[in-house]
A and B are shown apart, each in its own frame.
Chain A
């Protein structure tokens, strides 16, 4: 089932991008085998392989239906996964506003909580230590221009580096 959906999604995306290749400007002197040629060739191969994937899994499914189903189910911690993914997105989107150091400190706290740390002191020391180490290595040692954020965060970061 999964493979069929994956195949269909791949075909859909390939058709979408194939449509985009028709909008490429045609450069004079490169009409034959121009810029659209290679992406189109690759996309056509991808469509072909996706169809093969769908056919293969349809054939397999028919075989499987006759056999008995014995696949031990893995226990998955979906809520923790979605929370971690969500926090990761929020963290990266926050960096330009809160500045690198402040958002990193907050994100590390939340990540270690989500991954099972329950001791407040250990969470704080760990997050603070990692943030300070990042500051020392990147801002002071190799002069990386870490994002400063806006408003008060910008003024704060100006004090540090």
Chain B
């Protein structure tokens, strides 16, 4: 065990891997600072470029990108009141107020410190939780795998768009798209229309690139670009980062711990991610505070709480992916592509057979979170100036990366056609309010669901009770049902609460 950790750190500290993490950090920083460019899209675009690298090197780029982009949104949130990434929305409340008081440096320093701390806290939890969990998961049979796929899918109601029904429809469309190509058990061709490019099914990474990158550019163009400039940006005078003092850290120790725990747990829960974590981190900090009325006026707890929580969620989100093979957020759903491209399938088998890779991932998370400190310094000094970088340079570049990226995976134009087609599908679906992330979830889990269901049925002589008779499988299916209904339940309760508030006022 200790040897494996040592090996993990050794691997990550190799020059090529360190360089990979710095590259990932810089990309994450850029993505985090430029509003409108999200981590999911960046991960989708970068995956093809990792094809020629060692598996761990490629994965480290993505991990570092993920951690940094979650942090970097706080820079623009504090300085300009614009969240560069969704998870930093809560940081605006106190961060921008502090900046207005002329304490921008102190706010920025706290954001760096809290993000790093939250990330490292969740890395420790990731290593501690995923190893025992995977030893349980390795015993799973086909029935459990099917139940797990269903549970993974049930998450769909909570991610993506606003409408629960439309998110579920998105996931079912994804499930259907996964049936294209050669069928898994008997090998007949399904929906190939005689086109050899479809024999392997719809290629996952090109589809993801189309859905998240091309459709995004289409939307941005449609929104109108007014000379290619975004609004709401004002250049600020120089700021100096002020790291928190020892007294401040001691004063905030419970805030850090609380937010770290909340963030990690929310990250582990499938379907809710860094944005929700930041929200809960903040609201719990208000609840436990001795002076809740001061929140929102520019106090340091208001930055420490959400920033610790949102970065803690990045480590948590990796737990279900590594141990069960089901992604817990849209970024990790896309990140699966980086494993698949090297023939690795995340899940309990990978945890057992690729121990070295897994421990390197843990170590990678640790160092990626340390790199946030560097990211903060570089970002605040240099990258922030790129905020006025015009979209007529960013947009065409994204389109070029999408085309070359999808082509380079297999050197095949049919992958580029898939990307193009999914760019259009993604645009139309997003316009209509259907979730793209649920669709990706369906495409990933479709195969697993079909194969395990059919195999379980064959083994049990077509007795569907096998899915419910086994305790773990039954438990997972019940959990799946609850998590599918959770948004509805939440809505119902919120509605009730809203009425009470109306009545009391």
Q: Which residues of A contact B (CB under 8 A)?
A: 2-3, 6, 10, 17, 20-21, 24-25, 27, 29-30, 32-35, 37-39, 42-43, 45-46, 49-50, 52-53, 56, 74-78, 80-81, 84-85, 88-89, 91-92, 95-96, 100, 104, 107-108, 111-118, 126-127, 130, 134, 138, 142, 144-147
Contacts and interface: CB of A to CB of B under 8 A. Distances in A.
Interface SS of chain A: helix
A55 B214 CA distance: 32
Nearest to A89: B420
Q: Which of B52, B228, B407 has the most CB of A within 10 A?
A: B407
Contacts of A33: 454, 457-458, 462
Nearest to A10: B169
A88 B399 contact: yes
Contacts of A91: 403
Interface string B210-250: 00001001100111111111000000000000000000000
Contacts, number: 157
A116 B390 contact: yes
Nearest to A142: B52
B423 A115 contact: no
Nearest to B409: A144
A115 B395 contact: yes
Of the listed residues B222, B408, B416, the one surrounded by the most CB atoms of chain A closer than 10 A to its CB is B222
A27 B188 contact: yes
Interface residues of B, number: 59
Given A38-B450, A116-B226, A88 B395 contact: no
B52 to A, nearest CB: 5
A2 B166 CA distance: 13
Contacts of B173: 10, 46
Contacts of A25: 188
Contacts of A30: 185-186
B484 to A, nearest CB: 12
B408 A104 contact: no
Contact of B392 (A32, A49, A96, A117): A117
Contact of A144 (B188, B217, B408, B434): B408
A130 B396 contact: yes
A112 B396 contact: yes
B391 interface: yes
A38 B165 CA distance: 21
A89 B89 CA distance: 36
B354 interface: no
